[in-house]
Structure 1
């Protein structure tokens, strides 16, 4: 009841108002004898149009915020990358996540399957081929001595 009577920030309306055309009397309104009959005479179709406009504006705002914080990553074939490891601590095996390597051994990109998915071949064992998402990879810089 609380969720359905709360005004959503993206639409500007509560779900009760959008789907029922009115606000439902909540126990708090009944307890305090608050009259909520002062609702405007907006038609249901006008309300839905306004909610749709509000949703589009919210989508644009969220997309701008997301795009501002993220950069597009693209790799080329034959680039050497490291893969992120997902190690969990295990006392029985004496593995401590905090002390484990964050990235695996180097892999070479052999094929681009999609803009964000690549086929990789392990450098020290060419028989090992796997796929990875760009979020799991980082470019390998060969250390200079």
Structure 2
């Protein structure tokens, strides 16, 4: 949002933080179905400097029975909204977890397994190196320690140790690589 708003003038992006905050708090959230301002304050935010206001501020005085009944009704409606939000969030969680789990790879390493490690090289015009054309994985490495179920320490065939590599950056060594076939 900041990048879209500032375009070419990057020096004064912080002058607009209140506008960004208002836009974020008044935007309807896809998962809950409500705006953050409504869920936090029980009402929608008014546009600053609006020509029309919903109601004028009332001076503070002792609430009457009618006012108490109005507040009680408002609280019961808010409770219904919160129940609906819980249901909406549950549906959103199920939908999002379904799509996330489509790409989930339930693979774990064990000590002694042979793996390849993902590389993240950076391009360098000075060196004439294009990262896009570089190999994506290096190795093979041998798993020497399981630090946690998703973090491993590795050792290369030359004896170089690589510590604390996440499972997302590893893949099993292809059978053809182990046989020395490219």
* Paired positions, count: 139
Which whole-Å CA distance do the structure 1 matches of 2:133 and 2:81 have between them? 56
- Give secondary structure in 2 for the equivalent of 1:52: helix
- Structure 2 gaps of 5+ residues are 1-21, 55-72
Taking structure 1 as reference, are residues 87 and 18 closer, same or farther at Cα in structure 2, changes over 3 Å only?
same
Q: More deviation in 74-83 or 15-24? A: 15-24
Structure with greater Cα Rg: 2
Taking structure 1 as reference, are residues 52 and 128 closer, same or farther at Cα in structure 2, changes over 3 Å only?
same
Which whole-Å CA distance do the structure 2 matches of 1:9 and 1:91 have between them? 43
Q: How does 1:1-145 map to 2 (within 5 A)?
A: 1-26=22-47, 43-123=77-157, 125-141=158-174, 142-143=178-179
* Structure of higher RCO (CA pairs closer than 8 Å, 6+ residues apart): 1
CA deviation digits over 1:31-68, x for unaligned, max 9?
A: 6x7x8xxxx96622222222122212211221122112
- The structure 1 segments of at least 4 consecutive aligned residues displaced by more than 6 Å after TM superposition are none
Structure showing the higher helix proportion among its residues: 2
Taking structure 1 as reference, are residues 51 and 140 closer, same or farther at Cα in structure 2, changes over 3 Å only?
same
Q: CA deviation at 1:127?
A: 4.6
**What is the root-mean-square deviation in Å for CA atoms of aligned residues?**
2.7
CA deviation digits over 1:80-101, x for unaligned, max 9?
A: 1111111111122232213322
CA deviation digits over 1:87-133, x for unaligned, max 9?
A: 1111222322133222113110112121111111111x225242211
Q: CA deviation at 1:10?
A: 0.8
